[in-house]
Amino acid sequence: MTQLKADLLVIGAGSGGLSVAAGAVQMGASVILLEGHKMGGDCLNFGCVPSKALIASGKAAYAQGHASAYGVADQKPKVDYAAAKDHVADVIATIEPHDSVERFEGLGVQVIQEFGEFISPTEVRAGEHTITARRIIISTGSSPFVPPIPGLDTVPYETNETLFELREQPKHLLIVGGGPIGMEMAQAHVRLGSKVTVIEGMKALGKDDPEMAAVVLDRVRAEGVEVAEDAMASEVRGKAGAIEIETKDGRVFKGTHLLMAVGRKANTDRLNLEAAGIETTRAGIKVDAALKTTNSKVYAIGDVAGGLQFTHVAGYHAGIIIRSALFGLPAKANHDHIPWATYTDPELAQVGLTEAQARETHGDALEVVRFPYSGNDRAIAERKTDGLIKLMVVKGRPVGASIAGAQAGELIGFWALALANKMKMKQIAAMVAPYPTLGEINKRAAGAYFSPRLFKSSGVKRVVRFVQRWLP
């Protein structure tokens, strides 16, 4: 057994772990990185990257069949599903070197391709190595949660960890789960020519603002996806190519393939956390605002920390760790300004409080401002007028923004900046956006906040008339 020591030990080479390792080693710390599966973690290999690549294939197919509005003849797309998966694999392969063992060893990180487990509060075993470090960062991510539905153990199914290796196009894809993963894959597959049914036990896109989610669901349904809500799966039966799902209310859905997309679970099973005195919750590892576990020498970041499960959150957590573990500076995570997006078409994005959350928190002090995509000239030119932006404003300061529409995931970054810096609406209104861009929607939303104050105010009108009377 080899004894190793380092300033930082990072367990897990997903987005958060790689960010910590790269930042720390370049700032002079000695770093050991453990990864027993694939470098790049879920995001590169099974999540964000492959899903967006397949969505891009679906968009290309959809564009061919819906070009007549632009003066171009519609063409029925000839989809090669296996070739679309080749595109997905090529995208992963293009990004892979950035997350590779070779790159990180080149930076000076000692990479050990083994899973790690605690053997004491200060020691981790990885293969033939026993490692001690000044600080240990757990960034093991999450995996698909597969509920114990009767019969599921006898029927073949996909998760996001297997779907992108599937070469045979599903004739009829059943998706259990109407969250972001389920809805993204539903639309991508219906655009690629599959029949798709989404089976959701509660409400599809239920964590988002219902008004905004409706914009997306209306489009997805119009494209041919069957979305069954309040449909809790109670039994799965059948075999490959002939699968049935029965719900508690007696409905039966039949298809050829099954994708389970009901949520995620933190990857903690291999870590032997009890040996390190690290407590867990139902969501993941218990951490404080500084991302420290119940073992003061150990941090947990990203999905495994049991909060928002997004790649960019893991990257944000990495910055907190760099300040705290490397420089000894006080640093706490604040998730109030963390945005998220669902990459359906149209997209769905959120930062800060939703309307319902803002009403509960701020009551009558809340003002809600809306501006439709149909009022934006660029959206009109590109025939992408479905959607709107909604701002939650309290005492002249935005506390939340919801966007449903084209490039919502890009537009929400503006409001994440505003919330992170506690900007006021008057500062946002001072911004000048180039014309014609979808980005003007953000500017016009701010204008919609001030318009009643300027154009409907009798006081403003009196001042203008007075000034005009005395101007030379």
Name the CA dihedral angle for 95, 96, 101, 107, rounded to a multiple of 10 degrees.
-10
Report pLDDT for 461.
66
Q: Are residues 135 and 9 in the same domain?
A: yes
Last residue of a domain, one of 224, 241, 262: 262
Report pLDDT for 451.
74
Is residue 66 one of the residues assigned to a domain? Answer: no
Q: Are residues 299 and 157 in the same domain?
A: no
Report pLDDT for 471.
76
Is residue 350 one of the residues assigned to a domain? Answer: yes
Which range of residues forms the domain containing residue 369?
340-455
Is residue 320 one of the residues assigned to a domain? Answer: yes
* Tokens read off for 156: 């073949």
Q: Are residues 159 and 126 in the same domain?
A: no
| Terminal-to-terminal C-alpha distance of the chain | 91
Q: Is the pLDDT of residue 460 over 80?
A: no
Q: Cβ neighbours of residue 417 under 8 Å, at least 6 residues apart?
A: 423
CATH number of the domain that residue 207 is part of? 3.50.50.60
Q: Are residues 104 and 122 in the same domain?
A: yes
Buried b (16+ CB within 10 A) or exposed e, 364-384: eebbebebbbeebebbeeeeb
Average pLDDT of the segment spanning 359-371? 97
Report pLDDT for 454.
60
Q: Are residues 129 and 9 in the same domain?
A: yes
Q: Are residues 309 and 444 in the same domain?
A: no
Name the CA dihedral angle for 61, 66, 71, 76, rounded to a multiple of 10 degrees.
60
Percent of the chain with pLDDT over 70: 97
Is residue 467 one of the residues assigned to a domain? Answer: no
| Mean pLDDT of the residues in the chain | 95
Nearest CA to 131 out of 141, 140, 119 is that of 119
Task: Count structural domains, the chain.
Answer: 3
Is residue 78 one of the residues assigned to a domain? Answer: no
Is residue 465 one of the residues assigned to a domain? Answer: no
Question: pLDDT tens digits, residue range 200-246?
Answer: 999 999 999 999 999 999 999 999 999 999 999 999 999 999 999 99
Is residue 84 one of the residues assigned to a domain? Answer: no
Average pLDDT of the segment spanning 263-275? 97
Average pLDDT of the segment spanning 399-424? 98
**Full-model pTM:** 0.94
Report pLDDT for 122.
94
Q: Is the pLDDT of residue 188 over 90?
A: yes
Last residue of a domain, one of 305, 327, 349: 327
Q: Are residues 166 and 308 in the same domain?
A: no
Q: Are residues 311 and 351 in the same domain?
A: no
Nearest CA to 133 out of 5, 278, 293 is that of 5
Average pLDDT of the segment spanning 239-259? 97
Alpha helices in 96-232 (DSSP H): 101-107, 180-191, 210-222
Q: Is the pLDDT of residue 472 over 80?
A: no
Is residue 72 one of the residues assigned to a domain? Answer: no
Q: Is 163 helix (H, G, I), strand (E, B) or coil?
A: helix
